[in-house]
Amino acid sequence: MNNSSFNTEENIRAEEKRLYEEYKKKLADLKKINKEKEAVGQVFTKGLLPIYVLYILSEGASNGNDISHKIGEKTNGLWVPSTGGIYPILKKFEKEGLIIGEWDDPKKKFQKIYSLTPLGLEEFEKRKDLLKPKIQEALKVFNTIYSHLY
């Protein structure tokens, strides 16, 4: 093997290594961006959605689809959670005794209508009190960041 072909192979390996490292870095950056997007989304889905579902049910019985629509209406379309995020919360609340789900037609089992139980109303009030300072703090942070950026 002569010296020039050795240098070429060495250059190719070096370039492959450089490209691979660049690829790994870009992939890590993309994963980080996706995690940040998920974290922002989780503020709503994990923190606010459960209490807002309780709030909607405190206004009257409803099914999962209607809960999603009511949240959309109340937020002027800025937040319309998917029913895929609402139904697991409803199931969890039902297991915990916070809500009762009854079939609109027990024979057809087409649609379950959920109602808040007295325990659910108590839990809603407790969560409201617990979350109030957290939400106020988050609003201050958002407003501060917004004022700095814009």
Nearest one of 68, 41, 44 to 131, comparing CA atoms: 44
Copy the structure tokens of residue 112.
């379950």
Taking only the tens place, the pLDDT of each residue in 36-67 is 555 444 555 567 899 999 999 999 999 999 99
- Could you tell me the residue ranges of all domains in the chain? 3-149
Count of alpha carbons within 13 angstroms of residue 71, beta-carbon side: 26
Q: Which amino acid is at 14?
A: A
Q: Token pair of 83, please? A: 């029913």
Predicted pLDDT of residue 27: 84
| pTM as predicted | 0.66
User: At 34, is the pLDDT very low, low, confident or very high (cuts 50, 70, 90)?
Assistant: low
The pLDDT assigned to 40 comes to 47
The pLDDT, as a whole number, for residue 10 is 87
pLDDT at 64: 94
Q: Tokens 């020039």 label which residue?
A: 4
Distances in Å between the Cα of 67 and the Cα atoms of 9, 20, 23, 124, 132 are: 63, 48, 43, 16, 22
Between 11 and 70, residue with greater pLDDT:
70
pLDDT in tens, 94-140: 999 999 999 887 777 778 999 999 999 999 999 999 888 888 888 89
Residues 6+ apart with CB under 8 A from 79: 44, 71, 72
Class of the CATH-defined domain 3-149: mainly alpha
Cβ distance 28 to 94 under 8 Å? no
**Rounded Cα gap, residues 10 and 124, in angstroms:** 67
